[in-house]
Amino acid sequence: MLFSLLSWANLSAQGTKKVEWTKTFGGSEWDVGKAILVLKEGGFLIAGYTYSESTKSDGWIIKLDVTGKKVWEKKFGGSKTDCFYGITPDNNGSFVAVGYTESKGAGNMDAWAVKINAFGEKEWEKTYGEYGEEKAYAIDHTTDGGYVITGYNKTKGNRNGLVWILKLDGQGTLEWEKAYGGERGGGIPTDVGNAIISNASGYMVAAHTRSFGAGDEDIWILKLDLKGDTLWTKTFGGTKEEKAFDIAKTTNGYLIAGYTESKGAGSEDIWLLCIDEDGRLLWDKTYGGHSNEQSYAISPLDEGEYSLAGFSHSKGPEHSGLWIFGIDKDHNMQWETTFEGYSGNDKIYCIAPTPDGGLAAVGEAWTEGVKSELWVCKFEGKLMQSINWYVKEKITPWMQQGEFEKTTDYQKRISGINMKKVKDKYLKEATNYYGSKTINLKEASLSRYDANNETFGVSFPNFDKINIAVSINDAQIFKQNWEYVTFENPIFALKGDKLVLEKVVLKINGMTYDFNQPKPTDKSQELKFILSSKQADPGMMRGSGDPLKGLNIAKAEHITPGKYYALIIGIDDYKGQWNPLNNAVNDARAIENLLKNKYQFTHFRTLFNEEATRENIINQFLWLVENVKENDNVFIYYSGHGEFEKKLNKGYWVPVDAQTNSISIYLSNSDIQTFLASIKSKHTLMVSDACFSGDIFRGKTISLPFENSEKYYKSIYQLKSCQAISSGGIEPVMDGGKDGHSVFAYYFIKALNENHDNYLDASRLFERIKIPIVNNSDQSPKFQPVKNTGDEGGQFIFIRK
């Protein structure tokens, strides 16, 4: 499946909640998210479906971390259409997703339930139904350890569709089932259950009915006891169409969300109803404009406040759809957000509050050239709660004892000093993540020049102005070239409960300025950039600094490369007999950010810590084998433990799920060599910062000698290459080093960061890092083509943006 980061614009007519991130997942067909769970230990679980082919779909479950990055995805189903609509957790860390299947069961459509563990592995799978059509739309966990499901059944009764309730035990075995409804016919399902909530005394069901009520279709609320017997039912609606899609418990009753055609401002308006425990209407209110609005979800926020979501065709731009808003205790709208899309079919199906005081939403968003993509959004929470949630997500898997880890080793690993190190590491990581969101360096602005003091002021969102001294002779060209400024290596910090910019490097016109937050002991607390380096006669140019830009001369003979892919793997959190590392993930993330910001890489695949299992690493290699084309370029970076088995004369990468010294769970260099040979790229460069990583080289191959000319770069680009840089030979290498990086990673990052040439090939990069690494460690880095991988003597080329 492809992944993309949406640039959806969020628009609001009044107050709004700030969006932290918005992402989509999907392929070239129809992909939908129907339900989202917020995990207390961090992250999200989404259930929906994906059409891998236009004629079939699979039930689809995706796990995301708190930043919206995909941790794993699983697809379930057969050769026909299979979909998930709801998901619930149990008390043991597992989850049950429900929907319907055409691939299995007794009828043409059967209700379907699949239980998975925390890693997405299937524990059991069940179907429910007879020869007709049955669907499950919602599920809730019950107090006795079982589950209750609602949907509809077109086999029972008059076969036109009845609200259907199923009670399951913890293993998915059917304890009882009941159907509710009337005898009215007419093609579409007559009576449908859309949402259900469970408590110690029974169940509340939100449904719609064509059999009862005042109009064509009415909201129908059912209260049932623990055996499914009806305590009462109520209908709500006018002479037209009304439906209920969600229900939420309040202190004195229930809130029901749906839509109405019988009242409101438009043809369809969101309808919110509040009823007491006996089904009496306490109040109701409509929300919407001149066109159509529907709500599929309601969720509590702060005390007495709620959020509703669905779609609107009255709000936002012409092709908008996604709509989410909040109401106060008096039912008045406090904020709203719409998202610009490409089609009025965009919808939000589920929302949920997050532990940091934010909100998550999932649905579908239609885009140009794609039927639809699964859409997910996270609204900002409270800063310190967000940081704590981030840290908790990272620490939780590290705190768990490994299956093959002795108790003594486990207790030593999570001892006080190690615990502090890990917490501090992830606190720093969280601070930098939320700092980059809050103090967005890409939104930097330059003040009017102060000619008397010969300074500019640089301003960022949510941060104080930083002064920068520029001589009056250079000021005009400095301002003209401001749009080409870059900010590198930012570090953020917490001061109390406020984020501040601790350090950053500013580069413009060949000059480098450093900013460092003043120390408390500094007499002057002025925030200022200090000039740290200047290129000799950089020839400051107007515009981009390229004197031939626009003349079709400077780039007439330039290389026209294919796509640039990066697979980046970093592992710190080892267990069992493998000691945790301190810098591997930080190294990997720094290289990812550097390639994103300075070089022409567009496709990134990353595996950090618990994601970097042997299976996942192999799957990422296989993905590259399947997707990379013959003119593309692949960069692979591994930072973690390595091992060398002398008896076999073979080196290995050590994945995160290796807890013993058994080589069966490792990934051998010979296997990696096989994957490298199978990737169809024009150029592949693998960089391995691990012990014994030099074992990847077997035999000698020959490359073209370096020549600093356009002809040289065109020549080496045309020749296929598959090369590797290792942090050492067949020897241990250091984890510690400089500025939170290993020695190897520090100089590798430094060389790429300080490069000012448009082109930098792998051999020149190696020459820049070899001597400082040897002089500052006991390791000897290696660079060489990888034998038997199709290398023809070319070079991998890093191309600056």
Residue 694 has pLDDT above 80, yes or no: no
Q: Which of 74, 121, 77 is nearest to 99 (CA)?
A: 77
pLDDT in tens, 736-788: 667 788 999 999 999 999 898 889 999 999 999 999 998 988 888 899 888 88
For residue 778, what pLDDT is reported?
82
Model confidence pLDDT, tens digit, residues 616-637: 999 999 999 999 999 999 999 9
* Average pLDDT score over residue span 189-197: 91
Burial of residue 125 (CB within 10 Å: 0-12, 13-18, 19+) is middle
Q: Which whole-number Å values give the CA distances from 297 to 256, 353, 635, in the listed order?
A: 9, 12, 43
The amino acid occupying position 365 is A
Percent of the chain with pLDDT over 70: 88
Helices then strands, counting H and E runs in the chain, come out as 10, 50
Strand ordering across the sheet containing 230-236: 191-199, 202-209, 218-225, 230-236
CA 490 – CA 474 distance, rounded (Å): 25
pLDDT at residue 242, rounded to an integer: 93
Q: What is the pLDDT of the chain when averaged over all its residues?
A: 88
- Predicted confidence at residue 719, as pLDDT, reads 84
List all residues 6 or more positions away from 108 whose beta carbon is below 8 Å from its beta carbon: 102, 131, 132, 133
pLDDT-based confidence at residue 246 (cuts at 50, 70, 90): very high
The per-residue pLDDT for range 703-734, each reduced to its tens digit, is: 445 555 555 566 667 788 999 999 876 556 56
Residue 546: pLDDT band with limits 50, 70, 90: very low
Give residue 380's pLDDT.
94
Looking up tokens 């092709």 gives: 319
User: What's the whole-number mean pLDDT along residues 384-396?
Assistant: 94
pLDDT confidence tier of residue 655, bands split at 50, 70 and 90: very high
- The answer to whether 85 and 109 have CB atoms below 8 angstroms apart is no
Q: Is the pLDDT of residue 680 over 80?
A: yes
Q: Which run of H or E residues covers position 177?
A: strand 174-180
Residue 339 has pLDDT above 90, yes or no: no
What are 459-510's pLDDT values in tens digits? 999 999 999 999 999 999 999 999 989 998 899 999 988 999 999 999 998 8
Buried b (16+ CB within 10 A) or exposed e, 502-522: bebbbbbbbbbbebebeeeee
Judged against a pLDDT cut of 80, whether residue 215 lies above it is answered with: no
Mean pLDDT of 553-557: 39
Of 48, 43, 30, 129, whose CA–CA distance to 87 is shortest?
48
Confidence of residue 129 (pLDDT cuts 50, 70, 90): very high
- Asked if residues 291 and 307 have their Cβ atoms less than 8 Å apart, the reply is no
Residue 567 is predicted with a pLDDT of 97
For residue 173, pLDDT beyond 60: yes
d(C-alpha 295, C-alpha 318), whole Å = 19
How sure is the predictor about 702, in pLDDT bands with cuts at 50, 70 and 90? Answer: very low
Note the pTM of the prediction, 2 decimals: 0.85
- Residue 538, pLDDT score: 42
Span 545-571, mean pLDDT? 65
Residue 555's pLDDT band (cuts 50, 70, 90): very low
pLDDT in the model for residue 82: 94
Given a contact cutoff of 8 angstroms between Cβ atoms, the answer to whether 220 and 228 are in contact is: no
For residue 13, what are its two tokens?
Answer: 């007519």
User: Cα(33)–Cα(45) distance, rounded to whole angstroms?
Assistant: 10
3-state DSSP helix/strand/coil percent for the chain, to nearest 5? 20, 40, 40
Would the pLDDT of 552 be above 50?
no
DSSP secondary-structure letter at 766?
Answer: H
The residue ranges of DSSP E strands in 557-602, in sequence order, are: 564-570
Closest CA to 388 of 360, 425, 427, 439: 427
pLDDT at 533: 86
Which of 5-14, 185-194, 216-225 has the largest mean confidence?
Answer: 216-225
Residue 550 in this model has a pLDDT that exceeds 50: no
Q: In this predicted structure, what is the pLDDT of residue 429?
A: 93
Q: What local confidence, expressed as pLDDT, does residue 393 receive? A: 94
For residues 509 and 723, give the distance between their C-alpha atoms in angstroms, rounded to a whole number.
Answer: 34
Better-predicted residue by pLDDT, 396 or 537: 396
Mean pLDDT for 89-109 is 92
- Which comes out higher in pLDDT, residue 783 or 10? 783
Question: What's the pLDDT score for residue 566?
Answer: 97
Query: Poorest-confidence range of 266-275, 317-326, 371-380?
Result: 317-326
- The set of residues, in sequence order, having a beta carbon less than 8 Å from that of 78 and lying 6+ positions away, is 101, 102, 103, 104
**What does the block give as tokens for 544?**
């981009």
Q: How confident is the model at residue 69 (pLDDT cuts 50, 70, 90)?
A: very high
- pLDDT category of residue 107 using cuts at 50, 70 and 90: confident
pLDDT at 640: 94
Half-sphere exposure of 23 (CA within 13 A, CB side): 19
DSSP letter for each residue of 41-87: TS-EEEEEEEEEETTEEEEEEEEE-TTS-EEEEEEE--SSBEEEEEE
